[in-house]
Amino acid sequence: MKIWKLILGFFGLLGGLFAASAVKSKEVKELKKVIKENKKEEKKVEKQIKELEEVKTASKKEVGNLKRKLTNSKKKTQKMEEAYEKDEVESAEDFLRQFAKK
């Protein structure tokens, strides 16, 4: 009888842990949408850079600025993904505030 209580308690504990981890906060879910939008923007910028480099009508300064913009965007997206995977609500809120300002 005592063993059954221990086994049931163990499974109850595991079930509780899985249920708690399955529920993500609202901010973290919104952050996932922002990450998708940023990735789309990154692809657009990459296409722009390739087009400008092929045509060679744009100055090196323009291409450099676009590359810098792409690099910064990728770094922010990477930080957002880390916050999403770790389910950090505070950092997700910070990223959402920054994104709302733009």
What is the pTM assigned to this prediction? 0.59
Q: What is the pLDDT of residues 55-69, one digit of tens each?
A: 777 788 888 888 898
Domain boundaries, the chain: 24-101
pLDDT for res 24: 57
pLDDT for res 21: 52
Average pLDDT over residues 49-56: 82
Alpha-carbon span 80 to 97, nearest angstrom: 12
pLDDT for res 64: 87
Alpha-carbon span 47 to 52, nearest angstrom: 9
Q: What is the pLDDT of residues 79-102, one digit of tens each?
A: 888 877 877 777 777 777 777 655
